[in-house]
Structure 1
Amino acid sequence: MSNVSSIMNAKSTSEDINTGLDEGFRKDISKTLSEILSESYRLMVKSHIYHWNVVGPLFKPLHELTEEHYKDLFEAIDVIAERVRALGNVAPYNINNASTFAPEGKDVENLTAIDMVQDLIAEHEAIARKMRDAAEKAGDNKDVVTEDLMTARLTFHEKAIWMLRATASE
């Protein structure tokens, strides 16, 4: 999705970090966090676009729910980037592919509220799977801060999935 590999090849901001985490692990988990950040950014943009464009009987609940989601995601993106920095790596800065984050206008015009919900659920589920793997990797390497961060973010995404499903149920 983004040029994460070239970003992660940048020299670490501090190779002398001695917090008990191996430098190779810090670089690897930072790459994973950068991918999660990118996917979170994409979901934030989609949630915002759907917030503006949802119509029909589900307008009010989805309009309000997507607003809650994009605001939460915006804050989370900052926290994830700051974790990458704390691990001694450069936070992602290349958004060349940002134009691919948003669905095409003609696609949005043809989406029903249910289509939007299904798309958002799929995005939340994909990020949740990646976060679960990152949390496990972090835990295996005694990186409790990243593990806790992923746990907190998983809590948000699983609740978002539940609420989206409940909103769109018949």
Structure 2
Amino acid sequence: MTQINIGISKKGRKAITEALKVLLADTYTLYLQTHNFHWNVTGPRFRELHLMFEEQYNELWLAVDDIAERIRTLDEPAPGTYKAFAKLTNIKDTEGYPSAEEMIDLLTVGNEQVVKTCRKVLKVASEEDDESTLSLASDRMGVHEKAAWMLRALNK
């Protein structure tokens, strides 16, 4: 097999993929949290939140694949275990079964964290002129900013 030659140095690809691995871990952790809350939400807003959380976890599930495939495209292995994600993620695990309002707050914070992680990816990708990763991170950032806004609006 020929060596990768896409105009980004090996060192540059490594820096980008290290940032993307954190984005992957944050996204997967948020996916798990959102799916958990979808299953376990209760209360008078059950249907509304159950459906909203389902929309969000389905979107996150697709994003996980896009991020992992970008890492592979840059010729690095993508993490794929709970242990690896737990080590990399910035999102705290949830204990027990929070109230619906707490779920909304936790998912808001989780989405905002992914936005911050995207900003770090953007910085590294920009330094390496990696337009594909810039596009991916920018798109992800927009999705999570909108999700956080919608979640915040529920608890006002």
TM-score by length of 1: 0.82
Q: 1:135 aligns with which of 103, 116, 122?
A: 122
Please give the residue correspondences for 1:155-170 in structure 2 after superposition, counting only pairs within 5 Å.
Answer: 155-169=142-156
Please give the residue correspondences for 1:1-170 in structure 2 after superposition, counting only pairs within 5 Å.
Answer: 16-96=3-83, 103-104=94-95, 107-108=96-97, 111-169=98-156
> C-alpha distance in 2, partners of 1:69/1:88?
29
> C-alpha distance in 1, partners of 2:85/2:39?
19
Q: CA RMSD in A?
A: 2.0
Task: Flag the 1:98–1:82 CA change in 2: closer, same or farther, 3 A.
Answer: closer
Give 2:70's aligned amino acid: R
> C-alpha distance in 1, partners of 2:81/2:37?
25
> C-alpha distance in 2, partners of 1:148/1:98?
23
Aligned-residue offset at 1:55: 1.3
Aligned-residue offset at 1:98: 6.4
> C-alpha distance in 1, partners of 2:65/2:11?
23
Aligned to 1:8: none
- Aligned sequence identity (%): 36
Task: Flag the 1:83–1:130 CA change in 2: closer, same or farther, 3 A.
Answer: same
Aligned-residue offset at 1:56: 1.5
TM-score by length of 2: 0.89
Which runs of no fewer than 5 residues in structure 1 stay unpaired?
1-12
Aligned-residue offset at 1:136: 2.3
Aligned-residue offset at 1:103: 2.7
CA displacement, residues 145-165 of structure 1 (integer Å, 9 cap, x when unaligned): 000000110111011001111
Aligned-residue offset at 1:58: 2.1
Aligned-residue offset at 1:99: 8.1
> C-alpha distance in 2, partners of 1:94/1:152?
25
CA displacement, residues 98-133 of structure 1 (integer Å, 9 cap, x when unaligned): 6898533xx21xx21110111111111111101012
CA contact (8 A) 1:36 1:130 kept: yes
Aligned-residue offset at 1:95: 2.6
